[in-house]
Amino acid sequence: MNVVFGFKEFAFLLTGLKWTVLLSLIAFAGGGIMGLLVAVARTAQSAALRRAMILYIAVFQGTPLLMQLFVVYYGLGLVGIQLPAWAAVAIAFTLNASAFLGEIWRGAIQALPRGQTEAATALGLPLVSRLRDVILPQALRIAQPAAVGYAVQLIKGTSLAAIVGFIELARAGQIVSSQTFAPILVFGVVGAIYFSLCWPLSLYSARLEAKFAAAG
Amino acid sequence: MSSTSTAPNSTEQPLIVMGAVEKWFGTFQALRSVNLSVSKSEKIVLCGPSGSGKSTLIRCINHLESYQKGKIVVDGVSVTDNQKAIDVVRQEVGMVFQSFNLFPHMTVLQNCMLAPIRVRGSSKQEAEATARRYLDRVHIGNQADKYPAQLSGGQQQRVAIARALCMQPKVMLFDEPTSALDPEMVKEVLDTMIGLAQDGMTMICVTHEMGFARQVADRVIFMADGMILEEAPPETFFKSPNHPRAKQFLGEILAHH
C-alpha cells in the first residue's frame, strides 16, 4: 500500500529537476537580455523612458514573485490569452528577472570609468561595437558576482512555479512525499539536488573572480 | 577678443575651422565666440588656467562635446549634430587623453587593432601590421601582447598615441597627455609627440609643458574664461605676452620651472 521511495520516485524527481533547470535557464537568459534593454532604457536620454523604467523596476522588485505569477498565469487567461503553464511561468520569471538583472547591468555599466566610452567614441567606434567590444566585456566582469548570486536565487525561486500547478523539482518532491510519507527523506534528496545545482555555480563564480583579478 | 589666423606658409584650405563657437554647460558658458583656424601640419599648443575651456575646445572638434552656436568644419566636413558627419570626422581625428583610457581587457595589440577593424573595415592581418608598425614607432613594439595594467603610465600613454595613429588620422588632439604621469615618464611621451610633430602631423595639444611648446608649436594659444585671449608664435608669446591674464599665467607656471 505504502509507496517506498525507490528508483521510480527518484526518476520522477529528476523530471521535476529538468523543468527547474529549463525554467531557470529561460528566466536567466530571457531576463538577462531583457535586462539589458531595461538598463539601456533606464539610462536613456529621454526622461519619459527613464521614468517608465523606474516604474517597471519598482513594480517587479516591489511585489511578490508569487503575485506576479498569479497575475500572468490567471490574468492572461482572463483576457483570453491561453498559454500553457510553462509558458506563463517562463514569462513571469523573465519579467521579474529582467527587473533585477537590468539593475545589475546598469550598475556595472555605470561603474566603468567615463574615459572608456570617450576613448571608444573618439576612435569612431559605432554604438554596437562600443557596447560589444568595450563596455559589455568590462561590465560583465563587474556584474558577475551579483549576477551569479541572482542566478542561484533564481534556481531556488523557480519552486514558486509549483503554485500554479507546474511540476518542477519542489512540486515533484511534494508529490513523492505525499505518496511515500517519507518527507524528511524526500525533501532531503530534493534539497541535495538544489544544492548540487547551486553550489557549483557559486564555486565557478569565485574561480572566475580570482581569474579576472589575476588578469588585472 | 579672439582672432583668426593661419600659418604663414599655408596655401590650401585650413584643416580645421572654428567660427564663433559658443558652448554652455547649463548656465555656465564654457566657450565664448571661439574662432580658430588650423592648417595642415600646423602644431598648436593650447594653454591657460584650469577651467578656461581648453579641453572643451578640443573636445568639440570631434564632438565629444556638442556646442550651441557657431560652426566647426574639419577637413571640409561640418561637425553638426548629424551623426554621419560626426562619424566621418572622428575617423580623421585622433585623440589622446590625460588618463590614457586604454581598454583594460584587451592586450596592447588588440587595443590598436580594434578601431581599424571595426571602423575602417581592415582585415585582421592589415590591422595587425599597422598596429605593430605604430607600436614600433612609439618604441613599445616588444610589449604588444601585454595588458595595459602591466605597463607604466608613460608606456600606456605611448600605446594610446599608437592606438590613435592606427586610424591614420589627419589631426591629433592631445588633452593634457602628460598631466597624469610621474615626472620621470613625461619625457618619453613628449619625445614621442615631438617625433610625430617632426613627421608633419597636424596637432592640437592642451598642455602646460612650455618646453614642448617652445620646441614644436607654430602657435601658442592662450585661453581664459572660455575665450581665446592671445595667440602668437611661441617665442613672442613667452618673451612678451600682451594680455595681462597671459602674463599672470606665465608668471605662475614658469615660477615652478
Residue type, B8: P
Average the pLDDT over B13-23 and give the result.
Answer: 95
> pLDDT tens digit string along B169-186?
999 999 999 999 999 999
Best mutation target, A116, A117, A123, A141, to test chain B (most B CBs within 10 A): A123
d(CA A216, nearest CA chain B) in Å: 6
Put the strands of the sheet holding B227-232 in their side by side order: B93-96, B171-175, B202-206, B43-47, B219-224, B227-232
Length of chain A: 216
pLDDT along chain A (216 residues), means of 10: 84 95 96 95 91 97 94 88 88 96 95 95 94 93 93 94 89 94 95 96 89 69
Closest partner residue to B147 (CB to CB) among A122, A134, A215 is A215
A123–B103 C-beta distance less than 8 A: no
Inform me whether the pLDDT recorded for B198 exceeds 90: yes
Between B40 and A211, the higher pLDDT residue? B40
Tell whether ipTM is more than 0.85. yes
Q: Write down the H helix ranges in B138-182.
A: 153-165
Average confidence (pLDDT) over B219-228: 97
In this prediction, residue A216 carries a pLDDT of 53
Cβ atoms of B205 and B45 within 8 Å: the answer is: yes
Question: What is the mean predicted confidence (pLDDT) over B200-225?
Answer: 96
Contact partners, residue A155, CB within 8 Å, separation at least 6: A20, A24, A194, A197, A198, A201
The number of C-alpha atoms within 13 Å of A15 and in the hemisphere containing its C-beta is 10
pLDDT for the residue numbered A9: 92
CA dist A162 → A54, B71, B155 (Å): 30, 64, 59
Residue B257 pLDDT more than 60? no
Mean pLDDT (whole number) for B20-35: 96
Cβ–Cβ below 8 Å for A124 and B91: yes
Alpha helix (H) residue ranges in A65-168? 65-70, 76-78, 85-111, 114-122, 127-129, 136-157
User: At B20, which helix (H) or strand (E)?
Assistant: strand B16-25
Are residues A43 and A53 in contact, defined by beta-carbon separation less than 8 angstroms? Answer: no
**pLDDT tens, position by position, B43-97:** 999 999 999 999 999 999 999 999 999 999 999 999 988 899 999 999 999 999 9
Give the closest residue to A182 by CA, choosing from A8, A16, A9: A9
B236 Cα to chain A: minimum distance (Å): 33
